[in-house]
Amino acid sequence: MLYVDTKMRVNGFPCKDPMAVNPEDFFNPAMLDQPRDTKNSKVGSNVTNINVINFPGLNTLGISLARIDYGPLGVNTPHIHPRATELLTVLEGTLYLGFVTSNPNRLFSRVVKKGDVFVFPKAMIHFQMNLAHDKPAAALSSLSSQNPGVISIANAVFGSNPPISDDVLATAFQVEKKLIDWLQSQFWENN
């Protein structure tokens, strides 16, 4: 089913009449073989998503992709995908990566290199970091949802609009409110 302007919807996205479907509906010139710029990112990484939002042919198929480019020491900051498990394949470089389980909060991490594969279970906080000081790295992630969603932990906690009360955050992090106010004043960007 494809994303077009009709009244029938599946997974929140309109479907295309099966008689009107053509080969182009199942093609996306994503150019995932091309490195993306990481120099303008505060965290040194750039994520290129291929999901139902920009590739309507994925609707109802339960899959999507993302290419992650990392500059030297670049980080794909801690985040979750609320609707998907992620299978990451290292295309180039060496990454330190991991995820944290819930109750107890246990970190599963390791260093992976080109050709290695690592899985992040659905809705677990996870991250990746390029360990090279002088070379970029890249990875390709397969996700088990056509619309996996992403919640960046730092952006959600310190950059929400309206902001979470600094009293709540100071208590949660057991720090002074001045530190929370400073963190909330920073420019938070999605990556």
Rounded to the nearest 10°, the torsion over CA 110, 138, 43, 82 is: -70
Q: Is 133 one of the annotated binding-site residues?
A: no
Per DSSP, what are the bridge partners of residue 112? 95
Query: Whose structure tokens read 């906690």?
Result: 157
147 contacts: CB under 8 Å, gap ≥ 6: 11, 12, 51, 52, 53, 64, 83
Helix (H) or strand (E) holding 102, with range, is: none
CA–CA dist 48, 61 (Å, integer): 19
Helix (H) or strand (E) holding 130, with range, is: strand 125-130
Per DSSP, what are the bridge partners of residue 151? 80
Mapped onto helix, strand or coil, the DSSP state of residue 128 is: strand
List residues forming the annotated binding site for Mn(2+).
Answer: 79, 81, 86, 126
List residues forming the annotated binding site for oxalate.
Answer: 76, 81, 86
List residues forming the annotated binding site.
Answer: 76, 79, 81, 86, 126
